[in-house]
Structure 1
Amino acid sequence: MALVSLCCIPDLLHTRNLFPRRRKGVRSLVLESSPSLRTSGFAFTTWKNAFRALDALGVGDKIREQHLQAQRLRVISSATGEIVREADLTQQGKRGPHEIRCVRRNVLLQALEEELPKGTIRYSSKIVSIEEDGDIKILQLADGSVLRAKVLIGCDGINSVVAKWLGLAKPSYSGRAAARGFAHYPDGHGFEPEFLQFIGHGFRSGMLPCNETDIYWFFTWTRSEHDKGVDESAAKMKQFVLDKLRGSKVPEEALAVIDRSEMSDVLAAPLRFRPPLSLVTASISRGNVCVAGDALHPMTPDLGQGGCSALEDGVILARCLGEALAGKDAKGSGSAENGRIEAGLREYARIRRWRSVELVATAYTVGFIQQSDNAIVSFLRDKFLSGVLAGRLLKMADYDCGTLSN
């Protein structure tokens, strides 16, 4: 049997992280639960660490030429309307200048899909159970078919079947929710290439241009009994966001972006995260099985690192597994090959464990502080902590996953 790496991934962004293993000499099959390439989610903030991963995959420049580079971060108090922090988003970090772009999800997926050999992705393929036959994993799919795999990489999202099989802690609800939207200006939006954030007053919001015609925005808040029914439709959700923002010191031009968004382009979802302390001793890998992306480290979006860290996972996992199998053509028993696979996955787990803990914990803390309407927290945040929080955003992005040839 050829060595096959399989995963069931609701978020196709994470799926694409598997293709480096082909470049390292490992044949992969990608199982995607949806019937076709997904484009939901609009866009995501892509920091320098993600572009290092995309460069390792050979698609970094293709993404850059279609998206604006953000030049500046401006953090504005929603309670006072004052700018509490400004930062140069191109400043020099420990590993070179920073780089931040708001990347259209469909553009990224298409670019990555083009790198895959035809037939690598099998759509409408959702894993419902995992069984074992020695070192082989037997995957039962929702359509009744059965697959056998020597390596199973679970990137199947926050409700991961593979993470459950490994015994990882169930994700916790943060008490917060997020709405996201996308505004299109056919004749150009005229906004500067800067990342605007509005914090405090019980919510956290922001917007960032993707290119000359499209702007991505987000809004997070703490749910209450008064919010019932707001997510019944996109129209109600958009009106809820506008009402919240109009009751604060958010400028009119920012409100106009949300008001312009197509109602079908507005989504809302509860924010969940895996308790970071649970990852300290968690079985990120066991035998020839491991997890990556949201299946490993679901986090709140306050660092903009969910998709970025998934790309890190993909490059590091590909390198660890590829190097472990570098001698797979040499004579040796199947047990020796299985041992190399397990060693490669253990090394991946070792590298990603503390990075995952730090990302999840930092994202939760940043979100709590930025969104709080507590008088003491608000005062400390606006007067002293905003610079620290902006620094954490840049620090978390100043990470190098390496290349596939390390």
Structure 2
Amino acid sequence: MENIAIVGGGITGLSLALALHRLGLKSLVLESSDGLRVAGAAFVTWTNAWKALDALAVGHLLRPQHCQLSGIVVTSTVSGVPTAQLSYGNREVRCVKRRVLLETLANELPKDTIRFSSKVVSIQTSGHLKLIHLADGSILKTKVLVGCEGINSIVARWLGFNQPSFTKRFAIRGYVQCKENHGLNPEFLLFTGHGYRCGIIPCDPTTIYWFFTLSPSNQEQEEEIIENPMKMKQFVVSNLGQVEDKIKAIIEKTEVEDIICSPLRFRPPWEILWGDISKGNVCVAGDAFHPMTPDIGQGACSSLEDAIFLARYLSEAFSVSRSEEEQEELEYKMIQNSLKKYAKDRKWRAIDLVTTAYLVGFLQQSDGKVMTFLRDKVLAPFLANLLMKKADFDCGPL
């Protein structure tokens, strides 16, 4: 029997568990793998993410390990000329290594909070409780069930959501660990053109994260590239266009085991608008709730926001003392109302981010002379500014 069960031990699940722990609430994280899911290299954490990390009291542990980025430089791969350069000003932006973040969150949790090798296969209702059936045959009872297990969320399907839509785009991601200082300025370098989009971002003086998004021209190209890390690397280098040799050298230095490719999926905004983000004592957060394309770098950041909002509302539901006779019924109603408030608060933020990410990706990756001219001469500063404005969000303290 658990008060709160969280399915998924990624960024969202661990952040939520830690937020609850900071508020004095115990939870159990059910992770299907046999250890922390550290694959995925790194991701950009914008100002809104750092506000959430500070609310979790881990920001001070992560800052010394990641350099602060001063701004973004957008360059056309067609001309090789910068099309926009913006300073982040007083915004805090860093590229955080996924492994470091997950290990930091996990280390702050009480022992036995995470249960590994616990794959959820089905969910049933039993009165005011949810029965969670695991692959090993065991059954857990819980008062609250939160799905944080990403785009293939079984909890999201239980709530009635469809599988996220495929954008027909893929992202190749790489992680380079240099033996010496890489010499890059602490800037987000973004390259667009020829139907591709590439980013080079330093995490610290010796570590670089990079990504390259593409739309395969045919099934043969898709199968040839996405299954072979060496061909992924060759494809990226050969399609960078008029980009400096030192940038291409970063891609070439990447070890094949540090390169991954994944399809880009998103939940259409109308599904978020009309779907059930919560139902009774069940809800979703993070990618299980609002999977989005990575084009504005807000996937993980908004997941951290979710964790703060949800923990705050759940603490209200469990804060009232009741007699044993009224405990079950009133507690269920309090939980239900808390999850409804969470869903209401997060719905429009999610719709905004999902829609913006999709449109930015479409504009930055579109090819053709007219679109290239508009993107490089007119839209580049606007799109770069748009990325920063979405980060000006404050989830508030726990």
* TM bracket (short chain): over 0.9
1:175 aligns with 2:168: yes
1:387 aligns with 2:381: yes
Query: Residue 351 of structure 1 corresponds to which residue in structure 2?
Result: 345
Query: Residue 188 of structure 2 corresponds to which residue in structure 1?
Result: 195
Query: Residue 94 of structure 1 corresponds to which residue in structure 2?
Result: none
Q: Which amino acid aligns with 1:50?
A: A
Question: Residues 33 and 118 of structure 2 are in contact (CA less than 8 Å); yes or no, is this contact kept in structure 1?
Answer: yes
Counterparts of 2:284 and 2:121 in 1: how far apart (Å)? 16
Aligned CA-pair RMSD:
1.2
Question: Residues 17 and 313 of structure 1 are in contact (CA less than 8 Å); yes or no, is this contact kept in structure 2?
Answer: no
Q: Which amino acid aligns with 1:288?
A: N
Counterparts of 2:163 and 2:32 in 1: how far apart (Å)? 21
Counterparts of 1:22 and 1:170 in 2: how far apart (Å)? 31
SS in structure 2 opposite 1:280?
helix
Q: Which amino acid aligns with 1:241?
A: V
**TM value normalised by structure 1:** 0.95
Aligned sequence identity (%):
49
SS in structure 2 opposite 1:207?
strand
Shift of 1:7: 2.2
1:238 aligns with 2:246: no
SS in structure 1 opposite 2:32?
coil
Query: Residue 62 of structure 2 corresponds to which residue in structure 1?
Result: 63
Counterparts of 1:36 and 1:289 in 2: how far apart (Å)? 25
Shift of 1:231: 1.8
Q: How does 1:5-404 map to 2 (within 5 A)?
A: 5-9=4-8, 12-18=10-16, 19-89=18-88, 91=89, 97-225=90-218, 226-227=220-221, 228-245=223-240, 248-328=241-321, 332-404=326-398
Shift of 1:230: 1.1
Shift of 1:8: 2.1
SS in structure 2 opposite 1:327?
coil
Question: Residues 128 and 328 of structure 2 are in contact (CA less than 8 Å); yes or no, is this contact kept in structure 1?
Answer: no
Per-residue deviation, residues 268-309 of structure 1 (Å, max 9, x unmatched): 011010001211111000000000010000000001111111
Shift of 1:237: 1.3
**TM value normalised by structure 2:** 0.97
Counterparts of 1:5 and 1:126 in 2: how far apart (Å)? 17
Unpaired segments ≥5 residues, structure 1: 92-96
Distance 1:344 1:328, change over 3 A: farther
Unpaired segments ≥5 residues, structure 2: none
Shift of 1:232: 2.1
Q: Which amino acid aligns with 1:289?
A: V
Q: Which amino acid aligns with 1:239?
A: Q
Counterparts of 1:300 and 1:375 in 2: how far apart (Å)? 24
Shift of 1:330: 6.3
Counterparts of 2:85 and 2:382 in 1: how far apart (Å)? 12
Distance 1:64 1:137, change over 3 A: same
Deviates more, 1:223-232 or 1:134-143: 223-232
